């Protein structure tokens, strides 16, 4: 059942309500789309609904309940997302990133800070410092150790240029070649450039251990808990806000079908064992939303 509480939460010069489902996120997303609530309004377990849209949601079938009742029903349905399980704020991951950079490339703090600034550009929503932190964490989980410096450097550069356009990977690779000249050996730079380009296809060869590690770490978000996966979907859509809804629907469906059509999404032993099933479940759930 779709529930909505009264508009009494002030922000941005108006009041907001919370729109939730007490049974499934799929139901919530479909209702919000039909009611004209923007995807950007989704926040882990609810949509923030402006006061001006409140009556339209009620007319579309949302049941009016108190704020306390809404939370109780959300918890009872197992859909309440607690603060520790939510996507972190950008500023909270920056200190750890700078520490990780200093360990990887000692004495190059200015370059690390420049890269962080690039990853924090205002137009980024999914492809920001939180994604970078997740990729570096994913490398550790798939078994990339401190000796794999080119892989870690490739993680730092793989979306260092991001405009949501074709060729971002190539421009990121070119930036890596430019900024790492004199910082890393020629062989390391060549490997970083190769790995950054690989993130366009996420299709490493069976013998490419480094490529497998980076590809899996970059795709690990696909296996996130449902609410976090849906935040990823929301943020990717906002990253591509310049693409119209119809073109986005076609393009996103094509991406999902390509991923679901692969024999395996992940190339490392860890990725197959820990992420494959959850990722396919998330992709299928999103694909059903587009079908509906």
pLDDT tens, 203-212?
999 999 999 9
Give me the pLDDT at residue 192, please. 97
Instruction: Please give the model's pTM, rounded to 2 decimal places.
Output: 0.91
Q: Which residue has the tokens 């360990």?
A: 103
Give DSSP secondary structure letters for 152-170: HHHHHHTTSS--SSTTHHH
What value does the mean pLDDT take over residues 1-9?
96
Same domain, residue pair 25 and 137: no
Q: Can you give the CATH number for the domain in which 132 is found?
A: 1.10.3210.10
Task: Tell me the mean pLDDT in the region 116-120.
Answer: 97
Under 8 Å CB-to-CB from 48, ≥6 apart: which residues?
9, 11, 16, 17, 18, 19, 41
Q: Which domain holds residue 52?
A: 2-85
pLDDT at position 292, please?
Answer: 72
Say yes or no: 25 and 105 in one domain. Answer: no
Q: Are residues 103 and 76 in the same domain?
A: no
Res 240: pLDDT: 87
Asked if residue 126 has pLDDT above 90, the reply is yes
Q: Same domain, yes or no, for 204 and 285?
A: yes
CA distance linking residue 32 with residue 46, whole number of Å: 10
Per-residue pLDDT tens digits for 61-95: 999 999 999 999 999 999 999 988 899 999 999 99
Q: How far is the CA of 211 from the CAs of 44, 192, 194, 267, in angstroms?
A: 31, 10, 9, 9
* Six-digit token string for 10: 């002030």
On whether both 169 and 71 belong to a single domain, the answer is no
Whole-number Å distance between alpha carbons of 57 and 38: 13
Residue with tokens 């529930």: 3
Statement to judge: residues 140 and 12 lie in one domain: no
Of 39, 61, 85, at which residue does a domain stop?
85
**85, 111, 135: which is the final residue of a domain?**
85
Has residue 147 got a pLDDT over 80?
no
Please check whether residue 178 is in contact with residue 223, taking contact to mean a CB–CB distance below 8 angstroms: no
pLDDT at site 201: 93
Q: Report the SS3 class of residue 131.
A: helix
Say if residue 71 is in the same domain as residue 185: no
What would the two tokens of residue 282 be? 């998330």
The confidence score (pLDDT) of residue 66 equals 97
Q: What integer pLDDT is reported at residue 200 of this predicted model?
A: 94
pLDDT at 120: 96
Q: What local confidence, expressed as pLDDT, does residue 129 receive? A: 97
Task: Return the closest-CA partner of residue 211 out of 198, 221, 193.
Answer: 198
Average pLDDT on 100-124 reads 96
Number of domains forming the structure of the chain: 2
pLDDT at 146 over 60: no
β-pair partners for 181: 184
pLDDT at 267: 95
Assess whether 179 and 58 both reside in one domain.
no
**Residue 256 and residue 113 share a domain:** yes
For 96-103, the CB contacts below 8 A with 24+ separation are 96/133, 97/129, 97/132, 97/133, 97/136, 100/136, 100/152, 101/156, 103/146
Average pLDDT of the segment spanning 256-268: 96
> Same domain for 47 and 188?
no
> Which one, of 132, 105, 135, lies nearest residue 116 by Cα?
132
Name the average pLDDT for the chain: 94
User: Residues 112, 220: one domain?
Assistant: yes
Pick the last residue of a domain from 85, 112, 139.
85
Residue 256 sits in the same domain as residue 176: yes
């Amino acid at each position: 059942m779709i529930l909505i509480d009264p508009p009494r939460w002030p922000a941005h010069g108006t009041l907001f309500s919370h729109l939730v489902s007490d049974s499934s996120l799929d139901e919530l997303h479909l209702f919000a789309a039909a009611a004209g609530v923007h995807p950007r309004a989704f926040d882990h377990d609810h949509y923030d609904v402006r006061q001006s849209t409140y009556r339209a949601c009620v007319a579309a079938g949302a049941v009016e309940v108190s704020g306390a009742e809404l939370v109780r029903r959300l918890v009872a349905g197992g859909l309440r997302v607690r603060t520790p399980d939510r996507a972190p704020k950008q500023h909270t991951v920056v200190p750890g990133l700078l520490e990780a950079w200093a360990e990887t490339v000692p004495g190059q703090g200015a370059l690390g800070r420049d890269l962080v600034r690039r990853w924090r550009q205002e137009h980024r929503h999914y492809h920001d410092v939180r994604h970078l932190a997740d990729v570096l964490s994913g490398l550790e989980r798939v078994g990339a150790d401190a000796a794999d410096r080119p892989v870690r450097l490739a993680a730092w550069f793989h979306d260092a240029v991001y405009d949501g356009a074709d060729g971002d990977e190539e421009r990121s690779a070119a930036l890596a070649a430019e900024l790492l000249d004199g910082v890393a050996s020629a062989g390391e730079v060549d490997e970083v450039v190769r790995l950054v380009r690989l993130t366009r296809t996420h299709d490493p060869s069976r013998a490419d251990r480094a490529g497998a590690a980076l590809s899996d770490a970059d795709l690990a978000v696909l296996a996130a808990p449902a609410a976090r996966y849906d935040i990823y979907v929301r943020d990717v859509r906002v990253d591509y806000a310049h693409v119209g809804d119809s073109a986005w629907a076609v393009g996103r469906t094509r991406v999902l079908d390509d991923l679901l059509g692969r024999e395996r999404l992940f190339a490392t032993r860890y990725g197959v064992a820990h992420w494959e099933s959850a990722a396919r479940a998330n992709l299928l759930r999103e694909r059903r939303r587009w079908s509906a």
